[in-house]
Amino acid sequence: MILQAKRIVLGLSGGVACYKAAELCRLLVKAGSQVQVVMSEGAQAFITPTTMQALSGQPVITSQWDSSHPNAMPHINATRGADLIVVAPCSANFLSRLAAGACDEVLSLMCVARPSETVALLLAPAMNREMWSHPATQRNLRQVQADGAQLLGVGTGEQACGETGDGRMLEAAEIFEEIQAALSPKLLAGKRVCITAGPTFEAIDPVRGITNKSSGKMGFAMAKAARMAGAQVDLIAGPVSLATPRGVQRTDVTSARQMADAVAACVDSADIFIATAAVADWRPAVEAEDKIKKDGSGRTPALAFTENPDILASVAASPRAKSAQLYCVGFAAESGSLIEHGRAKRMRKGVPMLVGNIGPSTFGRDDNALVVFTDAGELEMPRSSKDALASELIAMIAENTRTVG
């Protein structure tokens, strides 16, 4: 809902990456934004205004001399009342004009004419690797940042020219996520958040192990939401196949003990710890050096188990948590009697907030239904997308940490 009814100016300068701008426009419109596309002359050599008009549902601005505007000032009309301007792609040539404050065509004119205190300017560079590393380009990058623009960085990989390196424009989904972050309230600005996500895998032998059905999606959604709220986020992930959210520092682990070690290294400098991971309660007491083979007798191997460290309870019992310097949030996946088990688990773990759900109804899905347990009682959160739920939870956590502080 962050982008619902937002007014976004999407600027395209000349570059083959203009094809990605079409997908970005589609994502913004789908999210409920009103998108005003502005195209430089160079951009029109790569993609047509007709295409962008069809995707945005708005006439495309292509010239500062557009007489269809009553006052003949499209560069003023488009920026007044806008929430954000994003230039994607931002070519090396356009960057140089912006650094110089040139107003010789409609897109650079619009960027200079924007009310800079209320309308953020995001730039998604796109160029050949040699152009990207050229001293003039790097100088221009520093200048536009000093002038208040936000650079989104570049990707690395194959380029349209056939070369490989830095300079690729970020993918549409990545830029979309950066726009969401730019427009999100910074409820956790200045905070550091440590989050665990996904299952753990406890080895039986070199090829087998025990795990659970957690996909890690809720934990990754929490990491994304915390970063959008302005926090510095450390994500400790079990074995999952999920892309790292933009701007999040990720550490990959496999077992519960590895996760415990990673958490211990993280929480000493964190303000908030969110234990979303479904950590295995037990592990085999001994990991066999070789694969345990069937011998044809029909007998099954005898496996002994030992308890894994309770990461959440250990962190919650630490001096920093006890003195309210570290706010701890736990997650609990139950198979039934959620209210009863959630209340008991929160008290047993010693945390101010615990979030519960029915695991079998959410594992692997993109949506969830939650119950939040605190000293004030229980709050039911109806089924919604995990991204939406994560945003609501982060807002609750921000409010609770302000109250505690």
Count of CB atoms within 10 A of residue 47's CB?
19
| 161 belongs to the catalytic site | yes
**Among the options 25, 111, 161, 194, which is catalytic?**
161
In contact, 153 and 165? CB cutoff 8 Å: no
Residue 355, phi then psi, degrees to nearest 5: -110, 120
The residues facing 283 across adjacent strands are 306
CA 209 to CA 202: how far, in whole Å?
5
CA 393 to CA 231: how far, in whole Å?
14
CA dist 97 → 10, 24, 90, 135, 189 (Å): 18, 24, 11, 16, 33
Buried/exposed 62-97: b ≥16 CB within 10 Å, e otherwise: bebebeeeeeeebbebbbeebbbbbbbbbbbebbbb
| Axis crossing angle, helix 135-146 with helix 92-100, rounded to the nearest 10 | 50
Which segments of 217-374 are extended strands (E)?
A: 232-237, 249-252, 272-275, 282-284, 305-307, 327-334, 353-358, 367-374
Residue linked to tokens 């505690």: 404
CA 278 to CA 220: how far, in whole Å?
13
CA 331 to CA 351: how far, in whole Å?
10
Buried/exposed 301-321: b ≥16 CB within 10 Å, e otherwise: eeeeeeebbbbbbebbebebb
The residues facing 275 across adjacent strands are 196, 330
CA 193 to CA 234: how far, in whole Å?
6
CA nearest 237: which of 225, 227, 249? 249
Active centre residues (catalytic): 161
